[in-house]
Amino acid sequence: MFRSARIKLTAWYLLIIMLVSLMFSAVIYRLLSLEIARFEYAQRIRIERRFGGMTMHIPETTELVEETRRRILTMLAIINGGILVVAGAFGYLLAGQTLQPIKVMVDEQNRFVTDASHELRTPLTALKSAMEVHLRDRRLTLVQAKTLIAGNIKDVNRLQALADALLQLARYQKANGQTVKERLQGEEIVKEAVKKIEPLAHKKQIGIKTETTGFSIWGDKYGLTELLIILLDNAVKYSPAKSTVTVRGNKTDGWVTISVTDSGTGIDKEDQPHIWDRFYRAERARSDSESGGYGLGLAIAKKIVEANRGMISFTSREGRGTTFTVRLPAAP
């Protein structure tokens, strides 16, 4: 599809360039023809005036003029041919560069649709299979029915979580830095995020330690709160029981730096280049479906940071834990 579009775009480039070139060539040929005719006439007049009334034969210069015009046409044709070849080559390269971002976007959308369809199909298949099996069971008891409903509710919750994550990701992709920004107290954002994660941390007996100084952020309150929730959620999920997650925040040189450090097993080196990819989950996460999620959290986190004109990075060592660091513009 893109090869055909590239050829068509190249053809349009060539058409426009050659139309302009041919128009200029026609103008140049016309002006040179007029100049040659004027020069021929001027030469004839000068000869007649120089020899006065003497009777003499002045040779015709029509053939010379026509030969000159033919040579001009030949030169213009060669020049236009060269322009055609050069413009064709550069036009093809330019068309490729023009279409490349569109191709990347379409490929990314296709992968997104494929991955989303796969993730949606899994809980839907589980729902359908469980209901079909119990529907055919004539001896279904009330206890079994309640168990079925409880399992179905769990699958529905997973579907809802996936739908919410997809909508959130789409929201920040569409925002492209156009979110509503305001002056925010950094400590309040951290406290709000910690408060929402505390129930999950309490289940694993994980403590959340905060080390923040007074600082203000210029950004989107909802988005930055969600950013910290995502990072804290990951830190708690992948930290062992009875460990500690540390949140640090400070302001330096017009930037606010917030870091979240866990006590987990770290991220494998082969997984590190892909952690920002949508639907990417490390093998360790895949082996634990309860904590693995859908692989959308960090992709959303990165989009939130980009929408707030910030930067996000991480450092990780296997067996030593992972630290995610976010740099955001400080409030003036």
Q: Give the pLDDT confidence of 11-60 residue by residue, as tens digits.
A: 999 999 999 999 999 999 888 888 888 887 777 777 667 765 555 555 55
Task: State the Cα–Cα distance between residues 67 and 62, nearest whole angstrom.
Answer: 9
Report yes or no: 151 and 130 within 8 Å, Cβ to Cβ: yes
20 compared with 169, residue with greater pLDDT: 20
- CA-nearest of 171, 179, 212 to 300 is 171
Helix (H) or strand (E) holding 271: none
CA angle 318, 189, 297 (to 5 degrees): 45
Helix (H) or strand (E) holding 291: helix 289-292
What is the three-class DSSP state of 240? coil
pLDDT tens digit string along 63-103?
A: 777 888 888 889 999 999 999 999 989 989 998 888 888 88
Sign of CA pseudo-dihedral 57, 61, 62, 63: positive
What is the three-class DSSP state of 254? coil
Q: What is the pLDDT of residue 289?
A: 42
Written as six digits, the tokens of 175 are 């925002």
**282: exposed, middle or buried (Cβ count in 10 Å: 0-12, 13-18, 19+):** middle
- CA-nearest of 297, 326, 322 to 309 is 326
Model pTM score: 0.63
CA angle 282, 284, 289 (to 5 degrees): 95
Task: State the Cα–Cα distance between residues 201 and 173, nearest whole angstrom.
Answer: 30
Task: State the Cα–Cα distance between residues 11 and 92, nearest whole angstrom.
Answer: 9
